[in-house]
Copies of this chain bind each other. A is one copy, B any other.
Amino acid sequence: MMPREIGVTELALRDAHQSLMATRMAIEDMIPVCEQIDRAGFWSVECWGGATFDTCIRFLNEDPWERLRTFRKLMPNSRLQMLLRGQNLLGYRHYQDEVVERFVAKAAENGMDVFRVFDALNDPRNLEHAMNAVTKVGKHAQGTICYTVSPLHNTEGYVQLAGRLLDMGAQSIALKDMAALLKPQPAYDIVKGIKDTYGADTQVNVHCHATTGVTLVSLMKAIEAGADVVDTAVSSMSLGPGHNPTESLVEMLEGTGFTTGVDLATLLPVRDHFAKVRPKYSAFESKITTVDTNIFKSQIPGGMISNMESQLKNQGAGDRIEEVMEEVPRVREDAGFPPLVTPSSQIVGTQAVFNVLMGRYKVLTGEFADLMLGYYGECPGVRNAEVVELAKKQTKKEPITVRPADLLDPEWDHLRAEAAGLEGFDGSDEDVLTVAMFPSVAPGFFKTRAEGPKNVGKTAEQVAKEAAIASGAANAVREPIKYTVTIGDHAHNVSVEPA
């Protein structure tokens, strides 16, 4: 019997460097291996999303649209894939439908093929318009389930959600496990449930992080249950808070009833290239070097903890993290058990910090109040009525039950006018969309764009020097160091070097 071929989505160019090095990788460190990636036989190559867009204009002085066109040119045979926050697109607010349509059309025009559309609350109404826009331009609309664990989340609910997304026109379903919480048995059950309910030809993609150490097993069980495509990253860009290694996935399937189309020999230079590049970005690396299984207990992803810790430290309360950790599940329950993923993780986490520092719900953040009032969409659970009352009182806003974007007025002309007033605006719809996504960052970027992309990683010389320091030669003076030394009244120019 021929083994069934499992597709693989390579994450190195988006989620891998986002998870491992705060999304800082420069385009010049990706270009040398794009041709190899293009030939390796992946189902798709993930290469664009909210954080990459943001980092491009905030830190790398690089036009994210130009990055997309570069990928398109260098990987002509690959499906390019992006992560899209539904009605939020790549930003942090809801956009009016016309903006969503224009964004999707422009992304497609510049080269995007597969749009993985998700919503932090798993509210399907926040995905529908974006998925329709993708279908309208003839591209692949992937409806996403954000996997989380709560008393209200179960296999049946996830399978139902998949059905709603399919009804809305999703061409495939992604099971997205952003916190590495998906254990093998639920991975099997959910994929099997979707296949059994909606037909074996329903395409299911599975995305897991590796942080807890169990998720390569989850991918195996998902494949046994019928998953069609799984996400991994080339080994030199894998593990820790990142993803499972592509090579390990390919090798793991040998002799089973499954195989991949990935050619490991083609991937070898990609692995070696990123192994050389990675130390350049060590300053941005996470501290998780093995695995962290505490996440299963706390349900709080690593990135959220470090965020709350820094908030506490800024308030001189760095010792109260344990209290906050205990407060998070309560706040999450009051909010109706949202999944904890951008932006809901920040909203819940910050409110938990406020509760500990100032007393429970003495002060609501604006975002948390909006969450309680339905302005981000619907959560699976019933919200705590008392806290909803507090939110009404504080914000003078009424709770809503409609799709949040339905309350928005047309805004495209306004956005174009805003962009037109900016120095360095090039007149394109792409630039208008950049302003729409990141209105506070775009103006500065437009001004400096002509200087071209920056590399915020270390140079090869710096990497070599740090390696030497790490290997113990740290205290030696290796080159002339000049001091001005004042003894008594006399200033001396002094040079010190190895004798």
Contacts and interface: CB of A to CB of B under 8 A. Distances in A.
Interface of A: 183-186, 212-214, 216-217, 220-221, 235-236, 238-239, 244-245, 247-248, 251-252, 254-256, 264, 283, 289-293, 296, 466, 469-470, 472, 474, 483, 485, 487, 492, 494, 496
Nearest to A492: B487
A238 B474 contact: no
A290 B239 CA distance: 7
Given A214-B248, A239-B291, 15 more contacts: A184-B252, A212-B251, A213-B238, A213-B239, A213-B247, A213-B248, A217-B220, A236-B290, A239-B290, A247-B293, A248-B291, A248-B293, A251-B293, A251-B296, A469-B470
A100 B472 CA distance: 44
A254 B293 contact: no
Nearest to A256: B185
A185 B494 CA distance: 68
Nearest to A185: B255
Contacts of A293: 235, 245, 247-248, 251, 264
The number of times this chain is found in the oligomer is 2
30 contacts: A183-B251, A183-B252, A183-B254, A183-B255, A184-B252, A184-B256, A185-B254, A185-B255, A212-B251, A213-B235, A213-B238, A213-B248, A214-B216, A214-B248, A214-B251, A216-B216, A217-B217, A235-B290, A235-B292, A239-B239, A239-B291, A283-B472, A466-B470, A469-B469, A469-B470, A469-B474, A483-B496, A485-B485, A485-B496, A487-B492
Nearest to A220: B217
Contacts of A213: 216, 235, 238-239, 244-245, 247-248
Contacts of A221: 220
Nearest to A216: B217
A429 B239 CA distance: 48
A292 B264 CA distance: 12
